[in-house]
Amino acid sequence: MSHLSAENVSVAFAGLKALSAVDLQITPGRISGLIGPNGAGKTTLVNVLTGFQTPSEGAVKLDGEALIGLKPHQVRRRGIARTFQGGRLFRDLPVVDNLEVTGVGLGMSRRAAIAEAEAMLDWIGIASLSSRIAGTLPYTDERRVAIGRALMGRPAYILLDEPAAGMSGPESKELSALIRRIANDLGCGVLLIEHNVGLVLGLCEHIVVLDSGAIIEEGPPASIRDSEKVRHAYMGTAANTDLPVLEVME
Amino acid sequence: MSAVSSATETSLTGEVIAAKKQARFALARKTIVTPILLSLLLIAITLITVMTGSRPFNQTVIDVLVRVIFVVGLYIFIGNSGVLSFGHIGFTCLGAYAAAWLTINPIMKSSALPGLPDWLLQTRLIYWQAAILAALFAGVAALIFGKVLMRLSGIAASIATFAVLAMINTIYSNWDSVTGGTSSVVGIPIIRTIWPYLIGAVAAIFIAWAHAISRSGLALRAARDEPTAAAASGVDIPKERLVAFVVSGAVMGLGGALMAHSIGVVTPDTFYLSLTFITLSMLVVGGMGSLSGGVIGVVLLSALIQALRWMEGGVSLGDATFALPKGIQEIALGVIMIVILALRPSGLMGNREITLTRSNRNT
């Protein structure tokens, strides 16, 4: 079966272990979750999976083929897309050009890339933003454009790094519906990295919990919700205001 | 990709085909107004020059047109990549000497540049043929240097481009038998008519425009603004930088060849720090992020330089003669560049292009 996996991945920065022997598997059409308190190593793992960070130990494999050593653009061309915390849009370019860049990066002509970008914006439901300069968009729209940019060329996998950060309840619900469509309609394997644990519990079939660079728990949402280890990880590191709502968001 | 729903697939594919039909040539149509307007500006200046019939004014405008080629060449790389290059005048030097090697009378070449290979000593081309070959030569040199340099980013890349300039200058200043060393290489056919320079400047503008609307140009501008996101979008940043570096190197080579034919003599020091400073000033003042900024910067600062030169020579006011101290041009350029950087870092054009419509973003 097709899958993207991190196998026994460790990352150390100047002697400090950011990740310790982490295993993770993402499969097409399935939404997996990656949660953990601040500094748990979630983004570091995303960086490893997408070629931005070379692990000290372990391997990243796509359908059994090792990806370590590939540059980020080469990883993307193999169908592994990602978004970033904060969007990182090309702020001076119009929205459609933001998506077009990915098409061009994947080898399409500009004409073909524009066409797919327009179609993708329409599919996401933000076609009206096409000609807006990306830097002028409200926060929520930035996130949706970033997802559209990552979906160009129909990647087999998409890694969403805190896509709901700063979103209101209704906005998170809209995002939740979009993520479901990405998995169900496009058949894309999704890894959702989120602080909004309710969103993750409501969407994901399988959840991995990281703390201090190591996996402390993994399994279906029910087992994560009831896990003392997970509660302890969050309560031990954050102020009360940062505690996640361990309730399912539908 | 597996498990894609057929209904969604069909819907997206249909939309893509419809949009493709609309997009055909739309981008070129939408943006071509800018190079046309910039070319018309240069044509107007040229026509006024021809009508005045003044030889000094003719030479001044030839200088302006050559500088347009330089600055547009710089813009192709700096404007699109965001990497400041101090080395591009080195490619101008390569172009100028290549033009000299290809156009000087073989008898003169044999005595002044005996180290040239026989086939080159015996070759004598028409100036425009030599200019094209000079551009290709500079482009190939840019490809060789760029293969190494384009892996660098930020200040490291800028310092490395300066090293390229220093290397070219050192080689051309010391390889006496091939370049004449620090001595002037004379005998380059002087082209007094203004039209070849106008054609060269317009060609440079359209080359810059074609690169800007190409896949490579778009990808490079995205990488300039957000390199991490561009890499995650599949953009091979060193490759796209290399494309721009080679194209801009070739344009600089063309400018060097035409400069050689405008003055009839070349030395390595003509193509060193002073010219680097002037061309960078023009690009910074006009605006590094747009083609229009480059051209407008040249026109405005050239007018200023000319006025300062005139005042350096002395202006009669009644019985008294008023003259500015020598070197005021460079000081004025430096002051203007600092003021622009402080008050309007994106230059006079503010990364915008001249168009006939309200939408004037740089595509």
The domain limits of chain A are 4-88+157-242
Whole-angstrom CA distances from B160 to A27, B152, B155, B156, B167 are 45, 8, 8, 6, 10
Residues of chain A in contact with residue B218, where contact means CB-CB under 8 angstroms, are 97, 100-101, 104, 110
Residue type, A66: A
User: Which chain B residues touch A189 with a CB distance below 8 Å?
Assistant: none
Whole-number Å distance between alpha carbons of B177 and B81: 37
Residue keyed to tokens 């454009």:
A145
N-terminal to C-terminal alpha carbon distance within chain A: 29
In this prediction, residues B337-343 reach a mean pLDDT of: 90
* Contacting residues for B200 by C-beta, under 8 A, at least 6 apart: B65, B66, B69, B131, B254, B255, B258
Q: What is the mean pLDDT of residues A203-212?
A: 94
> Mutate which of B1, B13, B363 to disrupt the A interface (most A C-beta within 10 Å)?
B1
What confidence category does residue A14 fall into, taking pLDDT thresholds of 50, 70 and 90? confident
Q: Which of A73, A82, A83 to mutate to test the interface with B (most CBs of B within 10 A)?
A: A73
Q: How confident is the model at residue A33 (pLDDT cuts 50, 70, 90)?
A: very high
- CA-nearest residue to A102 within chain B is B233
Under a CB-based contact definition with an 8 Å cutoff, are residues B315 and B323 in contact?
Answer: yes
Q: Which residue spans within chain B are E strands per DSSP? A: 185-186, 265-266, 315-317, 320-322
Asked if A166 and A198 count as a contact pair (C-beta separation under 8 A), the reply is no
Identify residue B307 by its one-letter amino acid code.
A
Q: How far is A100 from chain B (nearest CA, A)?
A: 9
Q: Which residue shows structure tokens 């060609």?
A: B203
- The pLDDT, as a whole number, for residue B358 is 56
- Phi, then psi, of A45 in degrees rounded to 5: -65, -40
How sure is the predictor about B106, in pLDDT bands with cuts at 50, 70 and 90? very high
The C-alpha atoms of residue B40 and residue B47 are separated, in whole angstroms, by 10
Is residue B45 pLDDT above 90, yes or no? yes
| CA–CA gap between residue A130 and residue B243 (Å, rounded) | 28
Q: How confident is the model at residue B5 (pLDDT cuts 50, 70, 90)?
A: very low
Arithmetic mean of pLDDT over chain B: 90
Q: What is the tens place of the pLDDT at every residue in B159-204?
A: 999 999 999 999 999 999 999 999 999 999 999 999 999 999 999 9
- Read off the pLDDT band of B315 (50, 70, 90): confident
Contacts of B290 in chain A (CB under 8 A): none
Q: How would residue A162 be classed by pLDDT, with cut points 50, 70 and 90?
A: very high
Q: Answer whether B20's CB lies under 8 Å from A118's CB.
A: no
So what's the pLDDT on residue B36?
97
- The pairs formed by A167-170 with CB atoms below 8 angstroms and a separation of 24 or more are A167/A139, A167/A140, A167/A143, A167/A196
Tokens linked to B31: 């943006």
Average pLDDT over residues A172-198: 95
Q: Read off the pLDDT of residues A210-250 as tens digits, 9 standing for 90 and up.
A: 999 999 999 999 999 888 888 888 766 544 434 455 555 54
DSSP run (H or E) holding A5: strand A4-13
CA nearest to B350, candidates B301, B295, B290: B290
How much is the pLDDT for B215? 95
pLDDT of A168 reads: 87
Q: Which of A31, A76, A97, A110 would you mutate first to test chain B, the one with the most B CBs within 10 A?
A: A110
Residues 6+ away with beta carbon under 8 Å from A201: A33, A207, A221, A224, A225, A246, A247, A248, A249
Superfamily of chain region A4-88+157-242: P-loop containing nucleotide triphosphate hydrolases (3.40.50.300)
- String of DSSP letters for B22-46: HHTTHHHHHHTHHHHHHHHHHHHHH
The pLDDT value recorded for residue A243 is 43
Q: Residue B25 has what pLDDT?
A: 63
Tell me whether residues B4 and A187 touch, CB distance under 8 A.
Answer: yes
The alpha-carbon gap from A115 to the nearest alpha carbon of chain B, in Å, equals 5
Q: How far is A79 from chain B (nearest CA, A)?
A: 8
Q: Report strand pairing: A57-62 vs A189-193.
A: unpaired
- Given a cut of 80, whether residue A157 has pLDDT beyond it is yes
Residue B131's Cβ-count burial label (10 Å; 0-12, 13-18, 19+) is buried
Which pair of structure tokens corresponds to residue B136?
């290709």
CA count, 13 A, side-chain hemisphere, A168? 4
φ/ψ (deg, to 5) at B337: -65, -45
Q: How many residues appear in chain A?
A: 250
- Per DSSP, the three-state class of B303 is helix
Residue B4: per-residue pLDDT: 38
Domain boundaries, chain B: 31-273
